[in-house]
């Protein structure tokens, strides 16, 4: 696998990780006991820390990308392992 492919896959994992981790650890102004600004949405975060989110996303993406590359290298899980429904009807003769 080329290093550019690994970099692209890491980028995809990073974006996915950032969006998955976005709601964790965030508290609203009501939960934090802080007064809201007039016109502010009730769900606006009071303690959003993008640096901490980026660090967590970086670590999670590194682990996921490492597992993906290791699976690509050693072939632990392949397409045949993900076939949950068996051979489609009409293709039994071709499969054997």
Rounded CA separation 46/51 (Å): 15
Measured between alpha carbons, how far is 54 from 64 in angstroms, rounded to an integer?
15
Measured CA to CA, the distance from residue 71 to residue 7 in angstroms comes to 16
**What is the pTM for the complete model shown?**
0.78
Give the per-residue pLDDT at 96.
52
pLDDT under 70: residue ranges of the chain = 92-96
Residue 94's pLDDT is what?
A: 60
Residue 35 DSSP one-character state: P
pLDDT at 82: 84
Taking Cα atoms as reference points, which of 46, 49, 50 lies closest to residue 30?
46
Sequence-ordered list of residues with C-beta below 8 angstroms from that of 54, at least 6 positions apart, any chain: 18
């Amino acid at each position: 696998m080329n290093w550019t492919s690994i970099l692209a896959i890491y980028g995809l994992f990073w974006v996915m990780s950032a969006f998955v981790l976005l709601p964790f650890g965030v508290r609203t102004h009501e939960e934090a006991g802080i007064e809201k600004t007039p016109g502010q949405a009730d769900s606006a975060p009071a303690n959003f820390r993008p640096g901490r989110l980026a660090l967590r996303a970086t670590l999670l993406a590194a682990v996921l990308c490492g597992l993906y590359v290791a699976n690509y290298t050693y072939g632990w899980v392949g397409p045949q392992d993900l076939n949950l429904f068996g051979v489609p009807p009409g293709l039994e003769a071709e499969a054997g």
